[in-house]
Every structure is written in C-alpha cells, then in structure tokens.
C-alpha cells in the first residue's frame, strides 16, 4: 500500500469540504460554518503534511522531484500561510477565495498522467542540495502570490463603484478595501523575496550542473517575467496613479504568469525543465 497516494486522496477531499465550508460561511455568515471551516482546515493541512512525510519516506528524497509532489507541497504552503493569516488578522472570508484555489490545485494535480504519481529515484541532475533549497523557496513564493491573488480579487470586488465599505451583501462582509490592499502587498512582500531566492538558487544549481547560471531557457525566462511583474507591482504601490486597482491587476497578472511558469512551461514550451 502506498501511503502517500492515500493521503493525497484524503487531502483532496478535505480541501473540497473546506472550500465548500468557507464559501458557505461567506454567503450565509453562519458562525458555526466558519468555526467548522477552520477546524477542518487544520485536519486537511495535517493530511497534506502526512502526504509530504510519507512521500519522503517512500522515495528517500524531499518531495519536490516532480510536478505532482511539488503541487502538494504548494497547497501545503498555501494553506499553512492562509491559516497563519486567518489567526493573525482574524478574517475568515478570505478562506472562501483561497481554499477553492487549493482544491483546484489538487484537481489539476490529480489529472496529471499516472507516471507522475509513481515514486521515482532522482536523476543525476536533480541530486543536489540546491535543488531542494531552490524548489522549497520557489514554492513558498508561489504560495504568497496565490494568497495575494485571492486578496487582489477581493480588493477589486470591494472597491467597485457602489460596493459598500461595510454592511450588507456578500461583499459587505469583506474586510475594508485598504486592509485587503495592504494584505495583498504583505503577501507579495513575502512571495517576492522567496521567488528571488528561488531564481538565484536555481542559478547556483544550474551553475553546478550545467556550467551556466542563466541560459534563457523558457522556465528561467518565465520566472524572470513573473519577477518583473511583481517588481512592477511593488513600485506601482508607491506611485500615485498606479496604486489600488492598477496594482491589483498587476498582482493578478503576476499570478497568471506564475501559473504559466509552473504549468505552461512544462506542457506547452520545450526546455531543460521538462521534468519539473
């Protein structure tokens, strides 16, 4: 029996339940739904964690060696980051915009060809401590960006003309738009340095494996594209005329670039990173 596959299934269904609970909480404002959502998120996160542990035991290496494993690490970072935020800022509605994302991530993961699910030993290029630092850091970055994506969407909904700052309706329960904006920044301020460390350690690793730290292959280039967009976001936030909505659109574009960096490059474009 392969435990990691079992934990994958548990995590998958748990995230579906959690997503439904948070959405239910958002639309009904029922306090008990909100409590249940948080409790179930802890259970889901534990199952997610157990996947990572069992996978490590089964394969003998950190669970980052292909798209399947790294996606589950991504959802772990995303949900852990979310829970941290929920406790720190006491706001549950954000979960309605984050948990569906975590579930969706596992849906696409489960659609991967079966060979991804099997436990593989590392090929020579992947046997490096830099690989582990590289993937770990990059995926923490991705998690930050995904959180920011959810927050930016909420910000745009909230700051539409006519949307009330507080009070009734599904939008009314959102935090204030200035708070959403600040948190979207805060999550990018976490994601950006981690993505940067990811890019740099990727360079260090490539320099050991191939003798060049930068070769403009599609994966590298897309990481730079994503990085440029978030750099633009950071500067937009301190520029009059670029604050608020425009910055939020940049955050969303950054997330789309990141999704392409993650999936598009592996399946649409050719290149060295074809395995991960």
Residues in Cβ contact with 121 at an 8 Å cutoff, skipping those fewer than 6 apart: 59, 60, 61
Only segment of 5-13, 79-87, 95-103, 116-124 that touches another protein (CB under 8 A): 116-124
Q: What is the smallest separation between the CB atom of 209 and another protein, expressed in angstroms?
A: 5
Contact call for residues 18 and 100 (beta carbons, < 8 A)? no
Q: Which of residues 211-240 bind another protein (CB under 8 A)?
A: 211-214, 216, 218, 221-222, 224-225, 228-229, 231-232, 235-236, 238-239
Show the site string, 153-182: x = touches another protein by CB under 8 A, - = not: --------------------------x--x
Distance CA 179, CA 273 (A): 38
| DSSP string for residues in 37-48 | HHHHHHHHHHHH
Q: Which residue lies nearer to ligand HEM by CB, 14 or 232?
A: 232
- Residue span binding ligand HEM (CB under 6 A) among the ranges 42-50, 57-65, 88-96, 229-237: 229-237
Determine contact, residues 232/247, Cβ cutoff 8 Å.
no
Check residue 238 for interaction with ligand HEM (CB under 6 A): yes
Residue 32 vs 228, nearer CB to another protein? 228
CA distances from 190 to 24, 105, 193, 234 (A): 29, 20, 6, 12
Q: Which sign, positive or negative, has the C-alpha torsion 47, 49, 54, 59? A: positive
Return d(Cα 171, Cα 159) in angstroms, integer.
10
Task: Give the residue with the Cβ less far from another protein, 56 or 59.
Answer: 59
Q: Considering CB distances under 5 to 8 angstroms, the limit depending on partner class, which of ligand HEM, another protein, none binds residue 45? A: none
Residues that bind ligand HEM (CB under 6 A): 189, 231, 234-235, 238
């Amino acid at each position: 029996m392969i435990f990691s596959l079992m934990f994958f299934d548990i995590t998958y269904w748990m995230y579906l339940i959690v997503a439904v609970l948070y959405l239910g909480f958002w639309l009904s404002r029922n306090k008990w739904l909100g409590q249940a959502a948080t409790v179930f998120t802890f259970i889901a996160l534990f199952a997610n964690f157990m996947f990572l542990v069992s996978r490590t035991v089964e394969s003998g290496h950190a669970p980052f060696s292909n798209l399947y494993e790294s996606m589950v690490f991504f959802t772990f970072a995303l949900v852990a980051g979310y829970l941290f935020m929920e406790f720190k800022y006491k706001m549950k509605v954000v979960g309605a915009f984050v948990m569906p994302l975590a579930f969706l991530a596992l849906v696409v993961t489960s659609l991967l060809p079966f060979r991804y699910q099997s436990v593989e030993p590392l090929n020579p290029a992947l046997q490096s401590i830099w690989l582990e630092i590289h993937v770990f850091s990059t995926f923490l970055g991705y998690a930050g960006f995904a959180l920011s994506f959810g927050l930016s969407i909420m910000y745009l909904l909230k700051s539409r003309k006519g949307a009330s700052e507080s009070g009734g309706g599904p939008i009314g329960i959102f935090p204030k738009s200035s708070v959403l904006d600040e948190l979207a920044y805060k999550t990018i301020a976490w994601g950006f340095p981690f993505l940067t460390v990811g890019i740099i350690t990727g360079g260090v690793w490539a320099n050991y494996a191939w003798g060049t730290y930068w070769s403009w292959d599609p994966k590298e280039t897309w990481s730079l594209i994503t990085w440029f967009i978030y750099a633009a976001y950071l500067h937009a936030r301190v520029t009059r005329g670029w604050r608020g909505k425009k910055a939020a659109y940049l955050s969303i574009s950054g997330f789309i670039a990141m999704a392409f960096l993650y999936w598009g490059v592996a399946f649409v474009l050719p290149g060295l990173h074809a395995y991960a």
